[in-house]
Amino acid sequence: MSASDTNLATSLFERLTGSTRGDTRELGPDAARHEPGNFLRHVASLSMTKLADGLIDPKLVLSWLMQAVGAPVSLVSWLVPLREAGSLLPQLFIAPRVRRMAQRKWAWALGSLVQGIAAAAIVLVAVLMQGMGAGLAILAALAVLAVARSLSSVSYKDVLGKTVDRTRRGTTTGIATSVSSAGVIIFAIILLTGLFARMGLVIGAISLAALLWVAAAAVFSTLVEEDQPGDGGDAVGLGEMKLLWQDRDLGKFVIARSLLLPTALAPPYIVLLAAQAGDNRFGELGALVLASALASLLSAYIWGRLADRSSRKVLIFTGLVAAAFLALAVVLDLTGVMGSVWAAPLSLFGLMIGYQGVRLGRSTYLVDMAPADNRAAYTAVSNTTVGLLLLVFGAFSSAVALAGPEAVLSAYAVICILASGVAFTMKEASSGSE
């Protein structure tokens, strides 16, 4: 990088973070020297992958695509569990190989590249196939994408911890989320205009997602990451699950994170309430994407900055925020106003603000709390446990749903309050609170 490029990177870094180059608490001299450039590479890579996530969102975009190609409804119901559990469960078994790598950026880059290839496969399926075959092929491609995502996830926090100081990690994610949300909002607005054929727009969006994942892999591979000799990964595997009770801080974090799963699982039930109330306008794909993206855009940067001060408090607040809007959705339905044009969007918007806080708070807290030489294992144990509990939540929700979506949302609100209580008992991990 030339001197002018270095000066520009340093200037952008200081303006975005409000920090001065070299002002670090955790990084060594060489890592601190490269931090401005690495910070911007993180922001660029995450912006692209998060935008790709929004463009291929299984809850909304892929669900619509599956129906458009004539896939059975029974297959559509597997999209979200396959994506979420598939990206979490493999991590405990991937972690040993990641820990043996001196530079773990290559694991993240490979994961991003394979996600791009899987997204391209989904595009080909949508163009060439129909019916049950198309649905099964899309699920297979999504499964590959989910496993590749797990590789990126288990390696990312470790790379972030080695290249960006702890006082700026939440800001990194917050900026990337805001940038990507703006892109998703543009996509949603184009969908709402009705100027273009929706099938063409969806296929185009997924094609763009594939390109973004490939580009993100290229950018991330240019990170300046110090070599860190691997420990061989001997202690990583199923036996590493003992960390859950050996490290009480990790155990409490995993409990809190698991109890916050309703923030990710509740949106379909709010949409169902709106549909039952006759608000068909809100059922449109563009409106759903827009509500979710606006919440991300308006809240992500703020949550990220707050997470740098106290990620523990972010988890407390987001649980309460989510509970409040879940309860609001139930109240609006019981009082007969859920069919109003503002009711369902307001409920979903507030819930998504809480969801963004959960994502930022949990990521920042784990990086700050985990030992520097064992972040990959802590991440894998946390994600594997949550992946298993995600399946439990799915079964629980299906059972409670027999009593109606109101019952599910009410139960979720109580669970989110419990999550805030557990987070309250956790120790502070962010240095801004020290």
d(CA 124, CA 133): 13
Q: What is the pLDDT of residue 74?
A: 66
The tally of CA atoms less than 13 A away on the side-chain side of residue 419 is 33
Find the mean pLDDT for residues 262-291.
72
- In this predicted model, what pLDDT tens digit does every residue of 302-325 receive, in sequence order? 888 888 888 999 999 999 999 999
Find the mean pLDDT for residues 387-413.
83
Transcribe 47-59 into DSSP letters. Answer: HHHHHHHHHT-II
- In this predicted model, what pLDDT tens digit does every residue of 88-98 receive, in sequence order? 888 777 877 88
Q: Return mean pLDDT, the chain.
A: 84
With tokens 């820990």, the residue in question is 99
d(CA 419, CA 415): 6
Could you give the dihedral angle defined by the CA atoms of residues 156, 288, 119 and 153, in that order, rounded to the nearest 10 degrees?
10
With tokens 């708070």, the residue in question is 361
Transcribe 295-322 into DSSP letters. Answer: HHHHHHHHHHHHHHHHHHHHHHHHHHHH
d(CA 198, CA 183): 17
Largest CA distance in the chain: 65
Name which of 78, 158, 177, 79 is nearest 111 in CA terms: 158
Could you give the dihedral angle defined by the CA atoms of residues 290, 295, 300 and 305, in that order, rounded to the nearest 10 degrees?
150
At residue 335, does pLDDT exceed 80? yes
Query: What are the tokens at 125?
Result: 């399926």
- pLDDT-based confidence at residue 345 (cuts at 50, 70, 90): confident
> Please, are residues 280 and 344 in contact by the beta-carbon 8 Å criterion?
no
List, in sequence order, the alpha helices (H) in 56-195.
Answer: 63-68, 73-76, 79-88, 91-99, 105-128, 131-163, 169-193
Higher pLDDT, 131 or 371: 131
Q: What is the pLDDT of residue 266?
A: 82
Q: What is the pLDDT of residue 73?
A: 65
At residue 354, does pLDDT exceed 50? yes
Q: What is the pLDDT of residue 253?
A: 93
Q: Determine what percent of the chain is predicted with pLDDT higher than 70.
A: 88
At residue 83, does pLDDT exceed 70? yes
Using the CB atoms, write b or e for 261-275: b if 16+ within 10 Å: bbbbbbbbbbbbbbb
Per-residue 3-state assignment (H helix, E strand, C coil) for 385-432: HHHHHHHHHHHHHHHHHHHCHHHHHHHHHHHHHHHHHHHHCCCCCCHH
